[in-house]
Amino acid sequence: MENQALPNHVAIIMDGNGRWALERGKPRTFGHREGAKTLKKLCRYAFDRGLKYLSVFAFSTENFKRSEEEVSTLMNLFIEYFQKEFDFVKKDHVKVVFSGRRNPLPEKVLSVMDRMMEETKGNDGPVFNICLNYGGQAEIADMTKNISKLVLDGKIDIDKIDETLIQHHLYQDLPPVDFVIRTSGELRISNFMLYQVAYAEFYFPKVYFPDFDEEQFALALLEYQKRNRRFGGVKA
Ligand code: IPE
Ligand code: IPE
Ligand code: MG
């Protein structure tokens, strides 16, 4: 039985690329390439189904701890991918936005990110939020700094700081996340959208991200539709 409409905002922690590749006797970076292909299919599927907001965790602030080779392969993959694979954006009038710190992303990555945002900023379709060099705690620290500056400059009265004002000063001002999907069987949040997931439903499929196809996504959405959300109230 379906209780719910589709989630308004879905957030995906795309995990398990490395293990997917290692199990096939390939280098971890091969898994990232496959993951990128999967992401493209999922985007098309999500926007065809009418999802309004899709956030994905592409690279965390902590992922810089990985080998130089893995980090640089990922950065090159972002450049190639954003330049070549985003044709679906036009068809669905998708607005692409990024969340995360710019520093220390390479100039080339930043310039393709900027170009995509610029080219899609007027689009009135779904919003695709790519979290790249993103950390939830870093976002809260950056938001705090920005709001503090506004208070010190006399632009915001300190008593005006509330949950909504905080949301407006995160990297992107998006509605709360309804549904978090983390692939690969790991049961943790790993610093993803800490503020936005306050009342989200969670789903942890065992498959590695490259195998999380349209069928898996459809199952995930069905599971969401069975959940009973209460937001601290009583059961409907
Ligand atoms: C997720 O897959 C992609 C990124 C973090 C960039 P992983 O690379 O974390 O794959 P596993 O978890 O090591 O298998
Ligand atoms: C989270 O996955 C980050 C992304 C999917 C981009 P990780 O693989 O980095 O998380 P941990 O280290 O297992 O917690
Ligand atoms: Mg991982």
Q: From the CA of 18, how far away is ligand 3's center (Å)?
A: 7
Q: How confident is the model at residue 86 (pLDDT cuts 50, 70, 90)?
A: confident
**Is 165 within a domain?**
no
Residue ranges of E strands in the chain: 9-13, 53-60, 95-99, 127-134, 179-182, 201-203
Q: How confident is the model at residue 1 (pLDDT cuts 50, 70, 90)?
A: low
Q: How confident is the model at residue 229 (pLDDT cuts 50, 70, 90)?
A: very high
pLDDT at residue 90, as a whole number: 84
Instruction: Quick: pLDDT tens for 107-124.
Output: 999 999 999 999 999 999
Name the β-bridge partners of 78.
Answer: none
142 and 101 in contact (C-beta within 8 Å)?
A: yes
**Is 73 within a domain?**
yes
Q: How confident is the model at residue 125 (pLDDT cuts 50, 70, 90)?
A: very high
16 and 209 in contact (C-beta within 8 Å)?
A: yes
Per-residue pLDDT at 166 exceeds 90: yes
- Widest CA span in the chain: 59
> Which residue has tokens 């610093």?
191
Instruction: Quick: pLDDT tens for 32-82.
Output: 999 999 999 999 999 999 999 999 999 999 999 999 999 999 999 999 999
**Is 74 within a domain?**
yes
**Is 147 within a domain?**
no
Name the 3-class secondary structure at 234.
coil
Ligand 2 pocket member 82 (CB < 6 A): no
Tell me the H-state helices in 121-182. Answer: 136-152, 163-168
Ligand 1 pocket member 17 (CB < 6 A): yes
Per-residue pLDDT at 235 exceeds 80: no
Which residue minimizes the CA distance to atom 12 of ligand 2? 190
Task: Supply the DSSP symbol for 154.
Answer: T
Number of domains in the chain: 1
**Is 3 within a domain?**
no
pTM score, two decimals?
A: 0.97
Active site residue 15: yes
Q: How confident is the model at residue 236 (pLDDT cuts 50, 70, 90)?
A: low
Ligand 1 pocket member 29 (CB < 6 A): no
What one-letter code names the amino acid at 120? T
**Is 143 within a domain?**
no
Q: Which domain holds residue 108?
A: 9-135+175-226
Per-residue pLDDT at 4 exceeds 90: no
Question: Which of 9, 107, 104, 17 shows the shortest CA–CA distance to 58?
Answer: 17
pLDDT at residue 174, as a whole number: 98
**Is 4 within a domain?**
no
- Helices and strands of the chain, counted as H and E runs: 8, 6
**Is 167 within a domain?**
no
- CATH number of the domain within which 130 lies: 3.40.1180.10
